[in-house]
């Protein structure tokens, strides 16, 4: 089978939050202004939807389809890439979402490992990924590694072994892990058309040094402009400046962690910084008290103002 070679994803990719109404229903009307905010205020041109930040696993298949469709339609001719996360606990649900992503013209699909019944080996995980990818064979495919959330600690490098033979549409890896040796081994194994996207925002510089082509993360929703400068400084070889900008991200997150940082806080923080009405998270996540997010947003402005 001829390999599918998609456009290589590079630069910053915002892992989007899912806008909900105060009543907890998906709020599609907020998606157009959200895209405009990312482009105009943060200089972020690509998005990753229905992932961890988007509470994809807490949404129904139908809701995920509606959201993916809205992000793709409203992002058309504006965004560079819309990558849709289609991973589910059920292979059948993942295949349904993969087929749907193909129909709506997604630029890529990504799949996380199932985490209730976990794959016992890298081979088992690759077989799962292969079955999902086969449902949308013309759509560039990414494996999404996030061991702290899934509890699946298989080395990504083992998952990538021979993967293009099984998945001709394989396009890259979204690596949200802290094991830079495993990430480095993935980079050194990768053909040049793959895209290796790093996913721990507070240590992006380490990922870039190891060879990441870009980054996917939640904080690029509201720190994109600053992290774009970090990436440019790195690519120009200006490490002191890149480090200063990375330390700012770390200072913001350290403050947020002290205040009790989780996805609910992160989502409310994005609402505070952007002015978008993203609504509450979905249970079992509990809404973040507004003053907490407000305090983090103030610290963020202060730290960014200090540059
Ligand atoms: C566990 C987690 O949510 N990780 C985030 C990071 O962007 C994370 O929020 C950030 O590094 C702050 O810790 C991303 O890797 C997740 C992500 O890209 C996604 O939403 O799919």
Q: Please list, in sequence order, all residues whose beta carbon lies within 8 angstroms of the beta carbon of residue 282, skipping any fewer than 6 positions away.
A: 20, 24, 55, 58, 59
Please provide residue 57's backbone torsions phi and psi, each rounded to the nearest 5 degrees.
-75, -15
Task: Provide the ipTM.
Answer: 0.99
Whole-model pTM: value is 0.97
74 tagged catalytic = no
Q: Which residue bears the tokens 């001719």?
A: 77
Mean per-residue pLDDT of the chain: 97
Q: Is 216 annotated to bind ligand?
A: yes
The confidence band for 3, taking pLDDT boundaries of 50, 70 and 90, is low
The tokens describing 99, both together, are 């087929």
Q: Which residue among 15, 178, 202, 223 has the greatest number of ligand 1 atoms within 8 angstroms of its CB, and so is best to mutate? A: 15
Q: What is the pLDDT of residue 1?
A: 55
Q: Please list, in sequence order, all residues whose beta carbon lies within 8 angstroms of the beta carbon of residue 14, skipping any fewer than 6 positions away.
A: 38, 42, 44, 46, 47, 48, 216, 217, 218, 220, 221, 224
Q: Each residue of 4-18: pLDDT tens digit?
A: 667 899 999 999 999
Buried b or exposed e, range 27-41, using 16+ CB within 10 angstroms: beebbeebbebbbee
What is the percentage of the chain residues whose pLDDT exceeds 70?
A: 98
Contact 50, 56 (CB under 8 A): yes
Answer whether residue 26 shows pLDDT above 60: yes
Per domain, the residue ranges of the chain are 11-236
Closest ligand 1 atom, residue 174 Cα? 18
| Cα 276 to Cα 270: distance, rounded to the nearest angstrom | 8
Contact 12, 212 (CB under 8 A): no
Contact 71, 104 (CB under 8 A): no
* Domain 11-236 falls under CATH 3.20.20.70: yes
Contact 186, 163 (CB under 8 A): no
Which position among 144, 198, 220, 222 bears the catalytic label? 144
Cβ of 304 less than 6 Å from ligand 1: no
Q: Is 2 annotated to bind ligand?
A: no
The tokens describing 112, both together, are 């996380």
| Cα 200 to Cα 202: distance, rounded to the nearest angstrom | 6
Report the phi/psi class of residue 49: left, alpha or beta, with left for phi > 0 and alpha for psi in -120 to 50: beta
Q: What is the pLDDT of residue 6?
A: 78
Please provide residue 200's backbone torsions phi and psi, each rounded to the nearest 5 degrees.
-115, 100
Which position among 65, 174, 267, 292 bears the catalytic label? 174
136: buried, middle or exposed (CB in 10 Å: 19+, 13-18, 0-12)? buried
174 tagged catalytic = yes
The 3-state DSSP composition of the chain as helix, strand, coil percent (nearest 5) reads 50, 15, 35
């Amino acid at each position: 089978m001829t390999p599918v070679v998609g456009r290589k994803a590079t630069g910053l990719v915002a892992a989007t939050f899912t806008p909900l109404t105060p009543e907890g229903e998906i709020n599609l009307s907020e998606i157009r202004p959200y895209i405009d905010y990312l482009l105009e205020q943060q200089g972020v041109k690509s998005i990753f939807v229905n992932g961890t930040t988007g509470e994809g696993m807490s949404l129904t298949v139908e809701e995920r389809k509606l959201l993916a469709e809205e992000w793709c339609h409203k992002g058309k001719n504006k965004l560079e890439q819309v990558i849709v996360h289609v991973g589910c606990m059920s292979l059948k649900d993942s295949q349904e979402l993969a087929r749907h992503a193909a129909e709506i013209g997604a630029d890529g699909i990504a799949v996380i490992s199932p985490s209730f019944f976990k794959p016992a080996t890298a081979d088992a995980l690759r077989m799962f990924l292969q079955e999902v990818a086969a449902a949308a064979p013309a759509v560039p495919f990414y494996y999404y590694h996030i061991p702290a959330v899934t509890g699946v600690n298989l080395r990504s490098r083992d998952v990538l072994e021979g993967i293009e033979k099984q998945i001709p549409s394989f396009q890259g890896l979204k690596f949200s892990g802290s094991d830079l040796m495993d990430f480095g081994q993935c980079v050194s194994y990768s053909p040049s058309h793959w895209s290796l996207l790093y996913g721990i925002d507070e240590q992006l510089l380490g990922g870039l040094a190891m060879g990441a082509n870009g980054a996917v993360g939640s904080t690029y929703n509201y720190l994109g402009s600053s992290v774009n400068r970090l990436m440019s400084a790195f690519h120009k070889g200006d490490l002191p400046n890149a480090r200063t900008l990375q330390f700012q991200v770390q200072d913001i997150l350290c403050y947020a962690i002290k205040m009790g940082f989780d996805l609910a806080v992160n989502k409310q923080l994005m609402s505070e910084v952007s002015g978008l009405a993203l609504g509450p998270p979905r249970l079992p996540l509990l809404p973040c008290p507004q003053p907490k997010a407000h305090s983090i947003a103030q610290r963020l402005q202060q730290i960014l103002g200090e540059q």
